[in-house]
Structure 1
């Protein structure tokens, strides 16, 4: 009896351990691992594909709303700053290089129009009027000429250049905007970007009350703002133009503006037209 039990146990253990006809569920585990690897590969491909697509505009975070609220105030606190502007207008391109005093609402610049024939002029401007020195070839002088100025009323609704001039003066404000209202408005984060070595985020500005919402409205104004709330670039569509007016505002210090011509300090002239 003892021998039979011993032989039975020995045979069972031997067959269990060494009988290679016994097949565990290894084939199922292998197939599962293969499917999982394929799914991971597909997910990686989808992630790479999505990474190449620009992110959709989204509402501002609290930090982004704070920085957008500070943008015009930090510009105003600078007092005077250099600007470089490109204005598309009626098939030509106007470039403006100059300085703005945001506290006194006064600008001074050389303007070049690459139309046929090309034109250059020197300008001083305020929110209501522009003094022009036509046929100018001397760059931007430290002291502006004492004579030869022509003054006309600023017409932002009839001239892409005049609209850009008014926008430039309005890029400074003596107080921050309301960050909570901006966060609840249709202002949007557009993307993260860089200007030179400086990291910025790009925001579309809020529309005026009653302005149409949607994709076209979203594309009307853009602000490039660094981590300290400084405005380094601004773009807008002005006077019905389909192209962008682009303004760079380098943050380095600059000298003050020369005094405006006496003609510009009087009442704004009535009527008048301006090309561009």
Structure 2
């Protein structure tokens, strides 16, 4: 009986197939849909479109990968187009919008996020939204994330390169990368204080916090509040009001200003083409290879 049923099924399928009633196939992806769509977010004062460090990171990624630079104000001070928090919020919104546009037309395409400095700040915030289920984009639609000199780098992030003792100057994303953590990576030159501020530099951390919260990204407000609470709690555990006054006093302020000036003069923030995260492999080269390997 089983053999008879099997033969009948085979014949029936052959007949139906002849009439064009075979099992329907999924529609092919629309023409021009890339396998990987890299959204690259440049740093401050890049005019939002100048590749800068990311030029070498996104070059030669292969025919299955399309690169789109995200335009935004890319400014930091009140006398410019937008203060830092507002500029970064714009970058997050623009990156999210481009990703959603691509996924609406090409649902099979996977997104990759890469950013440098303020661009890493923005790309990292969006990655955190996605990884923790706070975005319309699903974690499975993101192939990978690369953040270079991220001002919100956390000690819990996947660091490529030497171990780091500090965290980002703007305070870490306390919710982290969620489901994206296994494929999200951060690169930070140890003397780059934007991504590696000592935890006892409270004045620097407060300044970074104020920059981040100047017209902040809406999805990050609760995390900013949590970071403020962390700073206050750490200060309160130093040894009472006297210790807090000393920690926030003029002497400590001068020490941190001197350290920050030395950092700016060193140029380490712009050395990622030379900074080696592995023997013979620069941060830029590592990032380029990672993105190229996603397709």
Same fold (TM over 0.5): no
Q: Please report the TM-score for the alignment, with normalisation by the length of structure 2.
A: 0.21
**Structure with more of its chain in strand, by fraction:** 1
**Structure with more of its chain in helix, by fraction:** 2
Q: Please report the TM-score for the alignment, with normalisation by the length of structure 1.
A: 0.22
